[in-house]
Amino acid sequence: MIESYIQRQLKKKSTLLMTHIVMGYPTFETSYEIVEKMVSAGVDIMELQIPFSEPIADGPVILKANQKALSGGATVQKCFDFASAVTKKFSIPFLFMSYYNILFKYGIERFTDKMVEVGIKGAIVPDLPPEEGQEYIEAMTKNNLDPIFIFTPATSDKRMLYIESFGSGLIYCIARRGVTGAQTSFSDQINDYLLRCRKATKLPLAIGFGVKNRSDIQFLKGKVDIAVIGSETIRLVDKEGVNAIGDFILNLRQDTP
């Protein structure tokens, strides 16, 4: 369970940083280098996405990364092998992110047992609502893993309380409607939404979908516990290469003690 880890980290930092990679993009070897650069630069938690052919919550940047990883030979087994390698090497918690079809085809209980074996601490499955996820929730709970659920700006207060009752570890707050990677305006308009999220749960709050730079993280300080960077790091690798990742993460960390 990662909640206790998050609370310990929050005693040292006002806002934690969670990053997201698509395993196997552009290759598994490069994915490992990216993880290494991110951890060295101070990332606190990382999502490892298992590539899927129809990642409905993801925008064009992550969609392209999924497609290229699959065309390059990424498989669920290779992703488990990759996860095992990074959890053994690096001390931060790693989460899986993928879509329910992956878990269903693999077998829910078998999948969660394998998560324990390879050292993964929890999972984000954006297309699985809790009322359809009883088998998944039970298997995660049995294995002491965190099923991480999602709030959106369209989620009612009543629905937030319902979703929260099934989650553990943290709640992932989507900053706006739509898919990953698009422009998000981090302004006072988002405050009411984040206040509703905070009121609905005592779990740590992470926010993603559009976090791009240090000013976004500065704005979010005190409003959420974890800022999530996804599409922006993939763009950076595509444009400038793996070696640009470390400085980018370090820059995000400036002025966020």
* Helices 231-240 and 28-40, axial angle in degrees (round to 10): 110
Cis peptide before 26 (omega within 30 of 0): yes
Instruction: Read off the amino acid at residue 121.
Output: K
Q: Which of 58, 146, 164, 225 is catalytic?
A: 58
- Annotated catalytic residue 58: yes
Beta strand pairing call for 94-97 and 122-124: parallel
Q: Which of 36, 44, 47, 192 is catalytic?
A: 47
Nearest residue to 74 via CA among 112, 137, 37, 29: 29
Signed CA dihedral, 177, 137, 143, 112: sign only: negative
- Annotated catalytic residue 216: no
Nearest residue to 203 via CA among 157, 169, 177, 231: 169
| CA 133-136-137 angle, 5° bins | 80
Give CA–CA dist 115/107, Å, rounded: 12
Residues facing residue 17 across a β-bridge? 227
Q: How many residues does the chain have?
A: 257
CA dist 236 to 24, 32, 182, Å? 16, 16, 15
Q: Which residues are catalytic?
A: 47, 58
